[in-house]
Amino acid sequence: MEFRSESPNSMDVPSSIQALAQHKHVRCIVKLGGAAITCKNELERINEESLVVVCSQLREAMNPETVESQGKVLGMDWSRRLGASIDSFADDFDVDSTLVSDSGFIIVHGAGSFGHFQASRTGVNKGGLHLPLVKAGFVATRISVTSLNLEIVRALAREGITAVGISPFACGWSTQGRNIACADVSQITKALCAGFVPVLHGDAVIDHSQGCTILSGDVIIRHLAQLLLPEYVVFLTDVLGVYDRPPTNPNAKLLREITVDEEGNWSIIKPAPGDVEKQVEITVASHDTTGGMETKILEAAVIAKLGINVYITKAGTEHSLRALKGEITDDWLGTVIRSSKKLSPYT
């Protein structure tokens, strides 16, 4: 079975990337799927249980020593809403305190039930910024997605992770015909070099041909992977990976391994091609303005073509923790998308 993935035009490597290469290696870029961390069919509702587990697993993957030592997690969410004074938090810190920093991780999250409803209802993804409804929807969408970003940063900070929120729109990211036209990554690289964990999100941005659009987290990850060349990329979703038909179908089969050749052709390796549907079926929620799983696997193929393994699995499971650590063995459940030139990570 074969598919095609188009690789975007290459861009000049900014000086900030060259500076990063001299000081900091990017280990992993993680996509937190909106469906995994929010209740996607309920307006602006976070899946608190899933988010707590994901943040804990990220801490363990970034710095296993914090788990092995079983020491106190020094949180950094000193918000008034938690009820304690800032002094009571600050007193826990001293010069020998250990934080989860310098991890080489970048996190990008989807919007889920934040932003998609506003963008879909007002047509932000289709452009037309001159129209009052679209302009209002642009504002409403950004209020929603940035509020989710804040909550995710807070959840990470409570796990002792030095997370900082970075919004693409505020950094000047823009598109042309819905393809990335400008993407200033200097704030991301500076944050990494300073020992922070950048946390980006899908965003409403200016589009130079249609006025505005929605820039998905999956597209952001692909662009960052092309520039920063991480060791591996992890997509955490609400299902175990890519299936040959909607996972709600009782006959759906998990595609455990997909390869991408130099021409961008996909081939399913596991299970054997004869055991799966000839045409992979993809479903997208009506309010999803970013393409859902289809966009995810297309962007993953572009990343894999670079020689970077992509692991897609269910958030909050033992398989997600192993993916975050880059520890893939034969009993791991998920989808590996890799270059046809690379050996299978399954052992």
Task: Single out the residue of 151, 168, 146 nearest to residue 213, CA to CA.
Answer: 168
Question: Which tokens belong to 170?
Answer: 């505020």
CA distance linking residue 269 with residue 116, whole number of Å: 34
Angle among Cα 40, 310, 18 to the nearest 5 degrees reads 110
The pair phi, psi for residue 237, each rounded to 5°, is -125, -170
Residue 115 assigned ligand-binding role: no
Residues in CB range of 7: below 8 A, 6 or more apart: 264, 302, 305
Task: Single out the residue of 192, 199, 125, 194 nearest to residue 166, CA to CA.
Answer: 199
Residue 296 assigned ligand-binding role: yes
Residue 116 assigned ligand-binding role: yes
Residues linked to residue 80 through DSSP beta bridges, in sequence order: none
Residue 217 assigned ligand-binding role: yes
Task: Single out the residue of 33, 27, 109 nearest to residue 309, CA to CA.
Answer: 27
Task: Single out the residue of 343, 304, 346 nearest to residue 327, CA to CA.
Answer: 346
Question: Which tokens belong to 257?
Answer: 């391994």
H/E/C letters for each residue in 72-112? CCCCCCCCHHHCCCHHHHHCCCCCCCCCECCCCEEEEECCC
Task: Single out the residue of 238, 215, 235 nearest to residue 291, CA to CA.
Answer: 215
Residue 292 assigned ligand-binding role: yes
Question: Which tokens belong to 197?
Answer: 């964990």
Residue 275 assigned ligand-binding role: no
Residue 244 assigned ligand-binding role: no
**Helical (H) or strand (E) element with 165:** strand 163-165
The residue length of the chain stands at 347
Residue ranges of the binding site for ATP: 112, 238, 292, 296
Residue ranges of the binding site: 111-112, 116, 217, 238, 292, 296
Residue ranges of the binding site for substrate: 111, 116, 217
